[in-house]
Amino acid sequence: MTRLAVVAAALSLVLLACPKAPPATTLGGTDEENVDRFSSQLEEFHTKTDVECKDWCSLKSKVCDVSKSICDIAGRHADRDDYQKKCVTGQEECARYNEGCSSCSKK
């Protein structure tokens, strides 16, 4: 009977214990890994010089989504100047694609 009580107590502790908060990660890796990955994607967009007019608007949403992801991570790490700079770079790239899209839309 005592063993049953001990097992029941242990089982209830396991089932009722509060889960620990996960580290600052996403399904794709740590924030550091994600910022690096997103920064590489932005660099690829930045180096595209042969973007046709029809592509500016479709690429705009991708670039701005990547920029938002970087800025979301930067918001969680306000003490990291490198993340803040990458956020600004992403916002500038998003603005460049917004301008390109609106310029093409007027033609």
* pLDDT of res. 14: 44
How far apart are alpha carbons 51 and 41 in whole angstroms? 15
Per-residue pLDDT of 1-16, as tens digits, reads 665 554 444 445 444 5
Q: Is the pTM of this model over 0.85?
A: no
What confidence tier does 105 reach under pLDDT thresholds 50, 70, 90?
Answer: low
Question: How far, in Å, are 4, 13, 16, 52, 70 from residue 8 at the CA level?
Answer: 6, 9, 12, 67, 46
**Residue 47 reports pLDDT greater than 50:** yes
Do you know the residue count of the chain? 107
**Residue 92 reports pLDDT greater than 70:** yes
What confidence tier does 98 reach under pLDDT thresholds 50, 70, 90?
Answer: very high
